Amino acid sequence: MSRKHSFACAIGTLLATAGLAHAQDVIKLGAAVQLTGSEANTGRYYRDAYRLTIDKINAAGGVNVGGKTYHLGLTLLDNQSDVNLGVRQYVQLITSDKVNFLLGPFASNHALNDSSIAEKYQVPMVQGGGASTQIYSRGYKYVFGTLPPADDYYASTLDMLAKADPKPRTVALVAADDSFDVSVAKGTRNHVKDAGMTLAVDQTYREGNADFSTILAEIKSKNVDAILWSGHETEALNFLRQMKGLNVNPTNYYGFTVGVPTEDFRKALGKDADFAFGMTSWLADASLKDRWFGDAIAFAKDYADKYQYAPDYHAASAVADVETFAMAFEQAGSLDPKAVRDAIAKVEFDSVYAHIKYGPNGQIVLPQIVIQIQDGKVVPVYTDRVLNKAYYPIPPWNRRP
């Protein structure tokens, strides 16, 4: 071996050891999230919350795994709102970027497909973007989620309506045809029946649809008491605007699965957003204590200061995902994927999002808080009891202040 060659070898070994030492200090989390494309508007919650939480945990000294301190790192890819690209990127994250553990994308249809990669490679994924029960009905062992089951999104709402005066008798259910909304619609049909109401209109529309005039004409002709709507934010926006344009007034109530808790939605609609009911699994509340952020109010402030917009439940759920890993690493005392997976299944802690504890299928169970936009503000009105007085029944469009 020439001297030059052995020198190169030495340098190479040195670099390799340095790389190894570095890799030991950092636990790499990976995710492919919607940073561009039609879902970028919601995808940013995940990007920003992942980063903020990881920075916060690192600033507090990182995590202690079996007596050794590690920092968390993040490899974030842009899935361009494309499910197929997302799946390929999760394979890339595991096989070539060599991340240790996986965080999730936004939305059920993404999580449904991406989680199969986690299961295939037996790398734990904790995801806060997919609520569809389809994700958890496949017997997967390595997938955990912090959004409550989509089937029950309308459970607390229908509980509230069943006790309301006047109680709605006929209901229109309008839902998109993607994984999340199909799951919502399936569960809601049962909840409507249990609440003793009749489903007068039950329509599914194509995801991304912007024109609801036909569905609205049908709802108007059936003169329903309540509209339960499930879909994506821009569709909710169009539905509500077209309700006004076509002067559709359900007797008592209309509500949306998404949109209502989001700042953009209220900004885009202005006064027309008032009275709309919605739901959220999270509201910034001082009773939600957290090891790293203090409480949910402090988290919301940190987040808004750093990113110049308010967090909603997507962001809080993403925080819980990162924290789940931090807690599980410490409890497992090891970075072995199987050991961490078992620790996640057993983990139990308080976070800015909720009290975290995963069910046997991997999904968290949380009640949805019924909210209403009152005078431009989001007001929580009901969970299993009345929280604040709702403006109910919703006044028709032409009789509003």
* Residues near other proteins (CB under 8 A): 36-38, 40-41, 44, 81, 177, 203-206, 208-215, 217-218, 220-221, 233-234, 237-238, 241-242, 244-247, 264, 268-270, 272, 397
Of 272 and 295, the one with the shorter C-beta distance to other proteins is 272
Tokens 């409890």 belong to which residue? Answer: 331
Q: Is 78 or 159 the residue whose CB approaches other proteins more closely?
A: 78
Q: Whole-number minimum distance, CB 195 to other proteins, in Å? A: 25
**What is the distance between the alpha carbons of residues 85 and 36, in angstroms, rounded to a whole number?**
12
Q: How far is the CB of 129 from other proteins (least distance, A)?
A: 16
Nearer to other proteins, 156 or 188 (CB): 188
Q: How far apart are CA 97 and CA 57, in angstroms?
A: 22
The least distance separating other proteins from the CB of residue 210, rounded to whole angstroms, comes to 5
For other proteins, the closer CB: 152 or 181? 181
Q: Smallest distance, Å, CB 398 to other proteins? A: 9
> Do 66 and 136 form a contact (C-beta atoms < 8 A)?
no
Q: How far is the CB of 161 from other proteins (least distance, A)?
A: 24
Instruction: Pick the closer one to other proteins by CB: 36 or 69.
Output: 36
Q: What angle do CA 308, 310, 311 make, to 5 degrees?
A: 120
Q: Which is nearer to other proteins, 46 or 136 (CB)?
A: 46
Q: Which region, left, alpha or beta, applies to residue 337 given φ > 0 means left and ψ of -120 to 50 means alpha? A: alpha
Provide the minimum distance between the beta carbon of 271 and other proteins in the complex, in angstroms, as a whole number: 9
